[in-house]
Amino acid sequence: MTTFNNVLQQLRSEHKQAQTAVEKLQQAISAIEGLNGNSVRTSVNGTRPKKTMSAAARRKIAQAQRARWAKFKKQSPNTNVKSISSGPRRISAAGRKRIAAAARARWARVRAQQAKKAA
């Protein structure tokens, strides 16, 4: 039983030493990053701090975007914009007949080649 306690005590001391080494490394990294000046700031756990934006800033950005869209919509002619209520596109009767004739001709060629191979 004492050997288990000794092993456990040794593991805890090694864990504490490893933690202090990690903390020293993090301090060294943050010191070097501080020298650079324009590096991304990190918090204690190594992640980026969450950036929050005020409601007034979001409102200003939204108003600017609405103004850009209004300007874009004003410049573009309405003829190029497809109306939403135009409904689904349908093929004309003449177009359908052309497609059917082309399919019949294609199958006639396939059957002719198969007949040629069989003969």
Within a domain: residue 25? yes
Within a domain: residue 119? no
Specify the pLDDT at position 17. 95
Burial 43-73 (b: 16+ CB within 10 A, else e): eeeeeeeeeeeeeeeeeeeeeeeeeeeeeee
Q: What mean pLDDT comes out for the span 77-90?
A: 68
Specify the pLDDT at position 68. 95
Specify the pLDDT at position 19. 94
Structure-model confidence comparison of residues 48 and 96, the more confident one: 96
Specify the pLDDT at position 79. 53
Whether 39 shows a pLDDT value over 60: the answer reads no
Domain total in the chain? 1
> What is the rounded CA–CA span in Å between residue 5 and residue 1?
7
Within a domain: residue 48? yes
Whether 118 shows a pLDDT value over 90: the answer reads no
3-state secondary structure of 41: coil
Within a domain: residue 106? no
> What is the rounded CA–CA span in Å between residue 119 and residue 110?
14
Q: Which among 109, 18, 26 has a CA at the least distance from the CA of 10?
A: 18
Q: What mean pLDDT comes out for the span 24-35?
A: 86
Within a domain: residue 28? yes
Q: Is the pTM of this model over 0.85?
A: no
Within a domain: residue 53? yes
Range(s) of the domain holding residue 31: 1-58
Within a domain: residue 32? yes
Both tokens of residue 43?
A: 């918090």
- pLDDT per position as a tens digit, 57-66: 999 999 999 9
